[in-house]
Amino acid sequence: MISNALIFLVQTICDFFAGALLLRFWMQWARAPFRNPLSEFLRALTNFAVLPARRVIPGLWGHDLATLVLAWFILLVETTLLLLIKGYALHIGAAGALVAISAVMLLRVAVYLVMFVIFMLAILSWVNPHNWMGSVLTAMARPMLRPLQRIVPPVGAFDLTPLIALIVCQLILMLPLAYLEGLAGRLL
């Protein structure tokens, strides 16, 4: 019973912080508007870890690699803690498996973030399309939606590409990520 509570706490805290780091990285990568409440929240939440990490981990092609590495490291810590709480005896040979599992978890969190952003963009476009959040979400979702918009024309006044993107994301979670997760789990 206590172990279930500990697992819940570790997953909640680590996934939230890793998601915030991934969101920060994604906003920088997508060149989303910088001056908005979401960016300020993410900077305030993650600066304590990102700023020191930037001194050690250099950027790559103009991207903040330190933020991405920190997100992966948080998921590595989460995986290790969860396995220890569940009673697994970890040894040095398990390090490669832990690295692989946390990399797959990073991909999983990234796909869930893509789904969340696309879903929020669709809802916001119906409710209040001129909100400050609309420009941020549009900038973040544009790289995923633009290729689909070239293939799928709007039906009447409705753009179906967010729905198609959500279906593709769900398929990615079900097929390649589940397969990679199984492979990484067998390394333990």
DSSP string, 15-30: HHHHHHHHHHHHHHHT
Site of tokens 């001129």? 130
User: What confidence score (pLDDT) does residue 125 get?
Assistant: 83
**pTM attached to this predicted model:** 0.89
DSSP secondary structure letters along 54-68: HHHS--BTTB-HHHH
User: What confidence score (pLDDT) does residue 164 get?
Assistant: 93
User: What confidence score (pLDDT) does residue 63 get?
Assistant: 80
Q: What is the pLDDT along the chain (188 residues), one digit of tens a residue?
A: 799 999 999 999 999 999 999 999 999 888 888 788 888 999 999 999 999 998 998 877 878 899 999 999 999 999 999 999 998 888 887 888 899 999 999 999 999 999 999 999 989 888 887 887 888 888 899 999 999 999 998 888 888 899 999 999 999 999 999 998 888 888 87
Q: Whats the size of the chain, residue-wise? A: 188
For 147-187, the pLDDT digits (tens) are 999 999 888 888 889 999 999 999 999 999 999 888 888 88
Q: Quick one: which of 62, 71, 53, 70 has its CA closest to 30?
A: 62
* Domain of residue 103, residue span: 2-186
Q: Burial code of 35-64, b = ≥16 C-beta within 10 A, e = fewer?
A: eeebbeebeebbeebbeebeeebeeeeeeb
> Do 161 and 152 form a contact (C-beta atoms < 8 A)?
yes
Paired tokens of 121: 């963009």
> Do 114 and 169 form a contact (C-beta atoms < 8 A)?
yes
User: What confidence score (pLDDT) does residue 59 get?
Assistant: 77
User: What confidence score (pLDDT) does residue 187 get?
Assistant: 80
> Do 43 and 24 form a contact (C-beta atoms < 8 A)?
yes
Query: How many domains does the structure of the chain reveal?
Result: 1
Q: Quick one: which of 107, 110, 113, 111 has its CA closest to 183?
A: 107
